[in-house]
Chain A
Amino acid sequence: QVQLVESGGGVVQPGRSLRLSCAASGFTFSNHGMHWVRQPPGKGLDWVAVISYDGRTKYYADSVKGRFTISRDNSKNTVYLDMNSLTSEDTAVYRCAKEQDNRDDFFDYWGQGTLVTVSS
């Protein structure tokens, strides 16, 4: 069965960096685009970034452009999110999500998420 397991969250001071990982299993990882979506405590879903199946194409939400970088290692079935210059506005649960396929790129599976808290 499809599994997405995030890790790397924690408490970090404003201005510092953090790297999140999402380990995938149960499907052919290299065939699917992957996304990061965040959810601040008690608030709604906020799309963050996407990376294509081959890693060549990436897009970012305006709120994180220039600060966050998405990448993937298809040999390790893992997608990453490098987050720099963190602010309190970045405090959220971060989940990775799998696209159904390259044509229908809505999200058919989500991870449980990892909590990132930006606080001094």
Chain B
Amino acid sequence: IQMTQSPSSLSASVGDRVTITCRASQGIRNYLAWYQQKPGKVPKLLIYAASTLQSGVPSRFSGSGSGTDFTLTISNLQPEDVATYYCQKYRNDPWAFGQGTKVEIK
């Protein structure tokens, strides 16, 4: 199973709504996680089960989707959201990641 993210990068203004998509080459039900990796830092879990927010993650982050198509939305983009975002399928082999989406501030 392969995971494909789009776009590979984006630039948006503070306060904008940003959407990142992730597509699985086969259906994966809702076994989809999103991670945030800030420059020079370790990846951080944001969302699991496609739409469940990890404890402590700001509510401006949300996820949706099931089967093959998923989205990560950041409403009201903040400067501290500058990072690369990765989707990942889990539950069985392989635990594949998307190629990442780099989010920058205009």
- A residues apposed to B, CB below 8 Å: 35, 37, 44-47, 50, 59, 61-62, 95, 100, 104-108, 110-113
Contact = CB atoms under 8 A, between A and B. Distances in A.
Contacts, number: 53
Given A44-B99, A45-B100, A112-B42, A106 B33 contact: yes
Interface of B: 33, 35, 37, 42-45, 48-49, 54, 84, 86, 88, 90-91, 93-100
B19 to A, nearest CB: 19
Question: Is chain B's interface secondary structure helix, strand, loop, or mixed overall?
Answer: loop
A47 B91 contact: no
B42 A47 contact: no
A103 B66 CA distance: 18
B86 A44 contact: yes
A47 B97 contact: yes
A106 B45 contact: yes
Given A44-B84, A59-B94, A111-B42, 9 more contacts: A44-B100, A45-B35, A47-B95, A59-B93, A62-B94, A104-B49, A106-B88, A107-B33, A107-B35
Given A107-B45, A112-B42, A46 B97 contact: yes
